[in-house]
């Protein structure tokens, strides 16, 4: 009887060991490491070299709107060498980056980064996200429950504290891929329609117009697909409640963000703690979004407030302004994001403005609050 038990245990251990070996050899050839095609591609491009000296982060406006090659061209026009990488994630606005940056910047491929450039939305409210999971939505939860997040220690931001493997399993068997990457293993063996965890795989947006490059993904303009844009805009607008959403922000909310120990002080402290310097910028947003939300006065006021904070804090801030004078159907991809054409134009301009401000050139004094128009 005892011999039978021992043989059974040995067989079970052999099976588990075989599965463990297989996963280590082949798991991420079948499932996405970050649960996101765009982030997996970013990580591959990022780790392909180690001389990046400027890192852009932010949400989808940055990922669609910052072309590192054109940023570098803007610097080159002023005879400054920049090597830029776009590490923005869809759905991850400025509020997420105080929590994401410290461990992300520990990557060996980012060791030469001197400036962290954060995209901010001047119509939104920013605050450091909590670790209760309440801020996690359909774009954040898959990424922050992925092996990528686990390896960076970021999975706690979206984790269900009642999950048994969060409390016991991953502490006891952390080295085993079967346990450590259990959600990825489930994705490997279960059909996607059976995954009720909300941590499915995020695929590339269908409007992309070219292959990703150094984190940037170019997208088609509205003009290429105007009929679909009209339908999409109607569906997008229908998800909001006008009396709740289409009105100015509450009084004083941005004043608190630039106050002592407010959000922007916290963000600046995090970046400085990694040995880098913070830069802030606001990319052009399709004016239709600004006017739909009735946020034009908010935008202008908040830009002035952030300019004030940046000047006092020694931080470069560049607001590229509300671009009423450009053809929105060419320069934008939808109601919010720049198209590939707009991204190329504004990225080169932003690169020139950053170079002019003194970024990567210690012989020049930094200036903040610069506006820009095409």
The pLDDT tens digits for 317-364 are 999 999 998 999 999 999 999 999 999 999 999 999 999 999 997 665
Is residue 232 within 8 Å of residue 333, measured between CB atoms? Answer: no
Instruction: Report all structural domains of the chain as residue ranges with CATH numbers, in order of start.
Output: 53-130+211-371 (3.40.50.1110)
| DSSP string of 80-129, one letter each residue | ----EEE---TT--GGGHHHHHHHHTTSGGGTT--EEEEE--TTS---PP
Alpha-carbon gap, residue 259 to 184, rounded angstroms = 42
Strand 370-371 vs strand 84-86: parallel, antiparallel, or unpaired?
unpaired
Question: CB burial class (10 A; 0-12, 13-18, 19+) of residue 333?
Answer: buried
Predicted local distance difference test score (pLDDT) of residue 216 = 95
Distances (CA, A) of 368 to 51, 166, 208, 298, 320: 26, 44, 33, 19, 12
C-alpha angle with apex 181: 180 to 187, nearest 5 degrees?
A: 155
Predicted local distance difference test score (pLDDT) of residue 4 = 75
Predicted local distance difference test score (pLDDT) of residue 185 = 77
Alpha-carbon gap, residue 72 to 80, rounded angstroms = 9
Predicted local distance difference test score (pLDDT) of residue 91 = 93
Strand 115-119 vs strand 277-282: parallel, antiparallel, or unpaired?
parallel
The SS3 call for residue 213 is: strand
Dihedral, 290, 296, 302, 306 alpha carbons, nearest 10: 70
The SS3 call for residue 15 is: helix
Alpha-carbon gap, residue 338 to 348, rounded angstroms = 14
The alpha carbon of residue 249 and the mean position of all alpha carbons in its chain are separated, in whole angstroms, by: 24
Predicted local distance difference test score (pLDDT) of residue 199 = 58
- The helix or strand, by DSSP H or E, that contains position 184, with its residue range, turns out to be helix 182-189
The tens digit of pLDDT for each residue in 56-100 reads: 999 999 999 999 999 999 999 999 999 999 999 999 999 999 999
Predicted local distance difference test score (pLDDT) of residue 198 = 53
Walking along the chain (374 residues) 10 residues at a time, the average pLDDT comes out as 74 73 73 92 96 97 97 94 97 96 97 98 92 84 91 83 51 68 75 54 79 93 87 89 89 95 97 98 94 94 97 97 92 94 96 95 55 49
Predicted local distance difference test score (pLDDT) of residue 367 = 47
The SS3 call for residue 149 is: helix
The alpha carbon of residue 77 and the mean position of all alpha carbons in its chain are separated, in whole angstroms, by: 28
């Amino acid at each position: 009887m005892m011999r039978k038990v021992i043989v059974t245990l040995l067989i079970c251990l052999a099976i588990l060991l075989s599965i463990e070996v297989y996963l280590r050899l082949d798991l991420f050839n079948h499932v996405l490491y970050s649960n996101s095609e765009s982030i997996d591609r970013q990580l591959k491009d990022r780790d392909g070299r180690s001389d990046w000296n400027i890192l852009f982060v932010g949400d989808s406006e940055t990922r669609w709107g910052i072309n590192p090659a054109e940023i570098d061209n803007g610097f080159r026009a002023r005879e400054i060498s920049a090597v830029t990488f776009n590490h923005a994630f869809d759905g991850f606005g400025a509020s997420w980056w105080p929590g994401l940056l410290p461990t992300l910047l520990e990557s060996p491929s980012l060791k030469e980064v001197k400036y962290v450039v954060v995209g901010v939305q001047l119509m939104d409210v920013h605050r450091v996200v909590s670790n209760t999971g309440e801020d996690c939505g359909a774009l954040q939860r898959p990424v922050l429950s992925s092996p990528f997040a686990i390896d960076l220690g970021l999975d706690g931001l979206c984790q269900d504290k009642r999950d048994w493997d969060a409390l016991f399993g991953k502490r006891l068997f952390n080295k085993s891929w079967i346990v450590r990457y259990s959600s990825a293993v489930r994705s490997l063996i279960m059909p996607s329609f059976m995954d009720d965890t909300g941590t499915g795989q995020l695929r590339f947006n269908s409007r992309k117009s070219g292959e990703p490059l150094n984190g940037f993904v170019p997208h088609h303009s509205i003009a290429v697909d105007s009929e679909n844009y009209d339908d999409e805009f109607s569906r997008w607008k229908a998800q909001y409640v006008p009396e709740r959403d289409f009105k100015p922000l509450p009084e004083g909310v941005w004043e608190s963000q630039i106050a002592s120990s407010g959000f922007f002080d916290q963000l600046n402290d995090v970046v400085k703690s990694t040995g880098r310097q913070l830069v802030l910028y606001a990319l052009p947003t399709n004016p239709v979004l600004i006017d739909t939300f009735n946020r034009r006065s908010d935008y202008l006021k908040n830009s002035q407030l952030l300019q004030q904070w940046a000047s006092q804090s020694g931080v470069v801030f560049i607001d590229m302004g509300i671009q009423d004078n450009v053809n929105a159907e060419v320069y934008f991809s939808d109601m919010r994001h720049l198209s590939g054409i707009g991204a190329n134009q504004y990225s080169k301009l932003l690169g020139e403005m950053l170079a002019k401000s003194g970024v990567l050139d210690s012989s020049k004094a930094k200036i903040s609050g610069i506006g820009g128009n095409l």
